[in-house]
Amino acid sequence: MSHNEQAVESHGHVHRDDVGAKMGMWLFLFTELLLFGGMFLIYAVYRFQYPEQFHFAGMELNTTIGTINTIILLTSSLTVALSITALQKGNKFLSIIMLTITIGFALFFMVNKYFEWSAKVSHGIYPGSEEMLNKQNGEILFFGLYYVMTGLHGLHVLIGIVLLTFILVMIIKDKIISTDLVKLENSGLYWHLVDLIWIFLFPLFYLIQ
Amino acid sequence: MDNQEHKNEHEHHITPYSTYVYVWLGLIALTSITVTIAGISLGDYTLAVALLIAAVKSYLVINIFMHIKYEELIFKVFLILSGLTLLVIFALTFFDFTYR
């Protein structure tokens, strides 16, 4: 097969299957889709059951911080995509810069999340608090889902920071190069998924007016 | 021709910087639209419009940022299948919820 020969020729004795690697990544992303999909399903059912209470509880969330975090994630998606193009074009320096900016945005996102959550907690709104238990069922469900869904999303952001840092080091050490960058591409896919989930979390939680 | 296509596939389609920047501008514009619309009361349509905008944004992210547009057919089949699975789960749950 010419495919194999080509791989052998250009990469010594190492055989790679980039399409297979990407397919594996996509399969993983589908399991993530179902994980979050189940939560969105719970959200949808309870929102239909308690529309007014969801509306009322949603007013408590900070739309400004939500919007800022949306822009941060969208821009970090751009920079990770640019990092891939840069490395494909052989511009290692630009790739490193773009990936560093991506990690910076991810940290910025988590700092905002920290301030957002601490403000909620200081108002007594956290799972199991006395203030929460005195609220109506729909509101309790809204805040419960808010903490679980944005919390699980935040965990994904943290994992993304660790993952992208490893990738950054590998690029610096020339372990990931312009002809062998499927690890960078797959990490990019993961990062875009984190962005994708936020695209739905944002209007469902922060934009209930 | 077939060989050429295969070769290109192996070498990866390189998305130009400008494409990514245009998509990003589009995503930012859609975000401002959805935030602005949320302030206007559209009654029952508020949620539908917000979800429609989110769907357009995901379409852009999946196709361009996640490169699905340039991948082999099997990736698109997988994506559509998993999307449909989620849709079926939603439909069945709401059927149960509505007629319980």
List the domain boundaries for chain A.
24-206
Those residues whose C-beta lies under 8 Å from the C-beta of residue A53, and which sit 6 or more positions away, are A136, A137, A138, A139, A141, A142
pLDDT score for B44: 74
Using CA atoms, how far apart are residues A84 and A190, in angstroms rounded to an integer? Answer: 13
| Secondary structure of residue A91 in the 3-state scheme | coil
Note whether B14 contacts A89, CB cutoff 8 Å: yes
Using CA atoms, how far apart are residues A129 and A133, in angstroms rounded to an integer? Answer: 6
Q: Which residue has the tokens 């996640």?
A: B66
pLDDT in tens, B41-54: 777 788 899 999 99
List average pLDDT for each run of 10 residues in chain B, which is 100 residues long.
Answer: 45 87 98 90 82 96 95 94 95 92
Phi-psi region at B17: left, alpha or beta (left = phi > 0; alpha = psi -120 to 50): alpha
Q: A74 to chain B nearest CA, in Å?
A: 7
Q: Of B90, B26, B15, B100, which Cα lies nearest the Cα of A33?
A: B90
Query: Which residues in chain A land under pLDDT 70?
Result: 1-13, 209
Note whether B82 contacts A30, CB cutoff 8 Å: yes
pLDDT in tens, A101-116: 999 999 999 999 999 9
CATH dotted code for A24-206? 1.20.120.80
Note whether A88 contacts B12, CB cutoff 8 Å: yes
* Cβ burial, residue A148 (10 Å; 0-12/13-18/19+): middle
pLDDT score for B100: 83
Alpha helices in A123-202 (DSSP H): 130-133, 137-172, 182-201
Using CA atoms, how far apart are residues A58 and A52, in angstroms rounded to an integer? Answer: 10
B25–A contact, CB cutoff 8 A: no
Note whether A85 contacts B15, CB cutoff 8 Å: yes
* Cβ burial, residue B12 (10 Å; 0-12/13-18/19+): middle
pLDDT score for A56: 92
pLDDT score for A12: 55
Residue A12, number of CB atoms within 10 A of its CB? 8
